Amino acid sequence: MLFTDLFAGLGMNHSFAWFLSQFLSILIFDVVLLVMIAYLLLADRKIWAAVQMRRGPNVVGPFGLLQTFADLTKFLLKEVIIPAGSNKVVFMLAPLVTVTLAFAGWAVVPLDKGWVVADINVGILYLFAMSSLGVYGIIMAGWASNSKYPFLSALRAAAQMVSYEVSIGFVIITVLLFAGSLNLSKIVEAQQNHWFVFTILFPMLPIFFVSALAETNRPPFDLVEAESELVAGFFVEYSSTPFLLFFLGEYLSIVLMCAMCSILFLGGWLPPLDIWPLNAVPGILWFLLKICFFFFMFAMVKAMVPRYRYDQLMRLGWKVFLPTSLLWVVVTAAWVLVFRQPA
């Protein structure tokens, strides 16, 4: 859409101009997203190091700014090793499925007013579908490896993701009741007067945040990667570029969850107050600042909170978050019904 008029002005067929415009828009968005992921990954390592009073990556490039790109080069140049007893086709498809679905989720995320690849009316449902399908990449990786360790880890990872998707779904329902739309841009615009975090939806933000940690296998819920620190979970048999794709898919999902926290509760691209000079700042900068804030919180949790046992993890999801979020759906529905307008 961004380049359609430009290509049409060059005499191209309108349909081809639209296709080329969409292709370039998606390509530019993905490249910018990958660069952002690279530096957020570096920030994650720096924050963790700072909490432990270390310097972190500081050798490759000035202040270690090129460390992530050095790691990328290393992964790309290493040999891809496929276990002899594995199902080779499914084994190689699993990381592709994971990273493709992680990228696909970003298609409906609005960066600013009108800055979205696909501004569809069921954006929330689409996003929830992409998140749910991510389980298949994990199960494929565990099963295709033909080893009991990744297979059992894949089962545990799938159970963990499915368990916390339930509470995430109920949290999203409370937001939908307030906003009255499944469109992510409309949800942001519904917070023009006040962000949802300052309404009765405030308890839903910590539930969504902690559920996002569990959904993305982040500490203190990275149990599939902590089998006595000897086995790296469902991707233990992966090396080189396939491992990199799993790693990239995980961080894409983490940053997507940070973006969703911003959109659902902190007004997306909207400033804290509609006053000058706050409203003079481009909306995309506000959105990026909010993503960075939530990513910083993700990193601090990783550095400070001790790891849960698996039974504690499942108990938290099914016995605390599920009934609380379900109760809040009823409370929110009653609130909207009684007061007619979202508070």
pLDDT tens digit sequence for 22-64: 788 888 888 999 999 999 999 999 998 999 888 888 888 888 8
Which residue in 112, 110, 119 sits closest to 282, CA to CA? 112
Question: pLDDT per residue over 267-295, tens digit each?
Answer: 888 888 777 787 788 889 999 999 999 99
In angstroms, the CA 276 to CA 300 distance is 32
Average pLDDT for 250-277:
88
The whole-angstrom separation of Cα 122 and Cα 229 is: 41
d(CA 268, CA 264): 7
Nearest to 79 by CA among 291, 302, 243, 189: 243
Question: If you count them, how many residues does the chain have?
Answer: 343
Cβ(317)–Cβ(165) below 8 Å: no
What dihedral angle (degrees, nearest 10) is formed by the CA atoms of 225, 231, 232, 233? -60
DSSP-derived secondary structure for 280-316? GS-HHHHHHHHHHHHHHHHHHHHHHSPPPPHHHHHHI
Q: What is the pTM of this model?
A: 0.89
- Nearest Cα neighbor of 117 from 33, 178, 189, 41 is 33
Q: How far apart are CA 12 and CA 334, in angstroms?
A: 54
Structure tokens at 252: 């894409």
Pairwise pLDDT comparison (1 vs 24), residue with the higher score:
24
**pLDDT tens-digit readout, 139-180:** 998 899 888 888 888 888 888 888 898 899 999 999 998 888
Burial class (CB in 10 A: 0-12, 13-18, 19+), 228: exposed
